[in-house]
A and B are shown apart, each in its own frame.
Chain A
Amino acid sequence: MGWSTGFLTEERGQWRALARRAAEHSTLAAELSALSEPELPGLVSYLFSDDALPFLFLSIHGPSKKRELPEAELVDILADLQTKAEVVVLHPDAMHDVSQYRRLGTFLAIENMDSRKGTGHTVEQLEPIMAALPDARLCFDVAHAKDIDSSMHEGVRILDRWGDRLSHVHVSSLDSSCHHVSLTPEDERLFAPLLDRCRDVPWILEAAPRSF
């Protein structure tokens, strides 16, 4: 289990400090999150600096906001990160010419989306992109799955369909505006059967744990 730097808002853009904060809690796994495109150059510079990152599993969350780069250029940049991290996560609704992403191969993980996004919620919506990118993996966001279907049936379907391509899991609860918040005891119970199927992959916390 490890932390996403996405919720460490005070230090946004200060990659060395963010990595240190994440490592204070776990060196087993971390996700360095550059959700907004202007954050990406700083993250790339940091990853190619001399800092040796201590994480056994490192994921990069690629940009879905303030996108300006042509997709081919973005993919070039992300492809260069393959020697620095195990996987890069992208939101399906932020991908337009899907064929551009094919060369990322198994380095790419597609995340299932919450209801604020236009697509990527269900098996049917994810199917075309996962079929077009047969080597891409799945980043399963369990809170997003609940937002789409609070019975968790859709989450079960997503794991049934692409569980063999699962790279890691995003764990948190969501508030009423779909912002990631600490995992609630109710959600912990609700998510348990799904998370029980994911014992071998890293769990990335997208909000500070309750006890923190």
Chain B
Amino acid sequence: MDTRSGAAELLSHPEGALEDLSKASGTTFPNLASARAHTPERLATLRRDIGPLCESDRFSIVLFGSWARRELTPHSDDDWAILVGGEASVNDSDVEAALAATRDCLGQGAAKPGSQEIFGLAFRFDDLVTKIGLDDDTNTNLTRRMLLLLESVPVSGQEVWEACRNEVLERYLARGLKSHRPPRFLLNDLVRYWRTICVDFEGKHPLGGEGGDQKWVTRNAKLRTSRKMLFAGGLIPVLMCHLREVSEMPEFLRAQLHAPPTDRLAAAFLAEGMVDEGARTLAAYDKWVGLLQNELCRKELLELTEATRESSRLFQQITGLGRQLDRGLLALLFDTQLGGITRNFGIF
């Protein structure tokens, strides 16, 4: 993308930018492509199966993570929750019925959602907006809010999901905005979320190394790849707000966050004229998605421990992919027009 207007158009409508990057570079992203084909099919099936039972203007059944990134593999977790809006309560009979119906369809066996009471239940939407920062903004609340913004897709109740998402975004953009500056409130919370993920990763690891955490190496691998993509997929659009007037920022961010993170990053690489770097970065991520699609790789990761991971070629391959991802993202953040913005807003 070599013209200013072309770049602006791409950033305003990033949906499909991964394909544009593929065309511009001649690089294919086969694993992402197959996941992107697979995810909407599974989502459509789910909408057909539980959507009609659970359609409501009071709540929304929402999927997070790989479902929203369009990176679903046959082994992905079903991280879902029911987002309850308006005057409804999590104890209302229709919400409870929706919970039961969703539990029958999602999170079976190995796809069981995480065990931290973030997913697999219903929660009121208000806390996401009224409790930002300070003691009441628990890790759970922060995680739900960020995932709703960065990585969520509705199974039912599209309007409720859309309204809640907009309200969260509006809360972040309600004051203190300046044209051609990233929205600091959102930026700070986003950075806080990423650092919280990293700190909590250590917090979950029992002192003394070997503990009962069978997923520690898998979690570490995801931190280097998928979680980084989650953060970068939010950070880049927020920094890109430096190209916008205050009045344009809400719509710009809405369009960005509507596209999967790989499209957001592909659009940014293209807009900055970094076709080669973008292709390499997304190709590294594509390889990671390929490893996740491979049952043997997932099994090996689960069998590794902190002590054995260093001698694992699979783990070394994943750390290499993580470094390629780092280098590509750092080049985008620091070696382009974004460099000055990253330097001035990314640290302090």
User: Contact flags (1/0) for B319-332 with A, using CB distance below 8 Å?
Assistant: 01001100110111
Tier of interface size on chain B:
20 to 34
Say which residue of A79, A106, A160 sits within 8 Å of B320 (CB atoms): A106
A57 within 8 A of B: yes
User: Contact flags (1/0) for A104-122 with B, using CB distance below 8 Å?
Assistant: 0111000000000000000
B323, A199: Cβ atoms under 8 Å? no
Residues of chain A lying within 8 A (CB to CB) of residue B320: 86-87, 106
B276, A197: Cβ atoms under 8 Å? yes
Interface hits, A158-207 → B, CB 8 Å:
159-160, 163-166, 197-202
Q: Size of chain A's interface in residues, with CB distance under 8 A?
A: 22
A49 within 8 A of B: no
A83, B276: Cβ atoms under 8 Å? no
B277, A164: Cβ atoms under 8 Å? no
Interface hits, A47-86 → B, CB 8 Å:
56-57, 79, 82-83, 86
Would A159 and B276 be within 8 Å (CB), given that A57-B323, A199-B331 are in contact? Answer: yes
User: Contact flags (1/0) for A16-58 with B, using CB distance below 8 Å?
Assistant: 0000000000000000000000000000000000000000110
Say which residue of A79, A105, A107, A166 sits within 8 Å of B280 (CB atoms): A166
Residues of chain B lying within 8 A (CB to CB) of residue A199: 274, 277, 331, 335
Q: Specify the chain B residue showing the minimal Cβ separation from A103.
A: B313
A82, B316: Cβ atoms under 8 Å? yes
Among B275, B283, B324, chain A packs the most CB atoms within 10 A around the CB of B324
B158 within 8 A of A: no
In the bound assembly, the distance between CA atoms of A105 and B274 in angstroms comes to 26
In the bound assembly, the distance between CA atoms of A118 and B26 in angstroms comes to 29
User: Contact flags (1/0) for B300-326 with A, using CB distance below 8 Å?
Assistant: 000000000011110011001001100
B279 within 8 A of A: yes
Beyond known contacts A82-B316, A199-B277: 18 more, CB 8 A cutoff? A57-B323, A82-B317, A83-B310, A83-B311, A86-B320, A107-B317, A163-B276, A163-B279, A164-B279, A164-B280, A165-B283, A197-B276, A199-B331, A199-B335, A200-B274, A200-B281, A200-B324, A202-B327
Give 9 pairs: A residue, B residue, CB < 8 Å, sorted on A.
A83-B310, A83-B316, A105-B317, A106-B320, A159-B276, A163-B25, A163-B276, A200-B280, A201-B280
Binding site for B on A (CB under 8 A): 56-57, 79, 82-83, 86-87, 105-107, 159-160, 163-166, 197-202
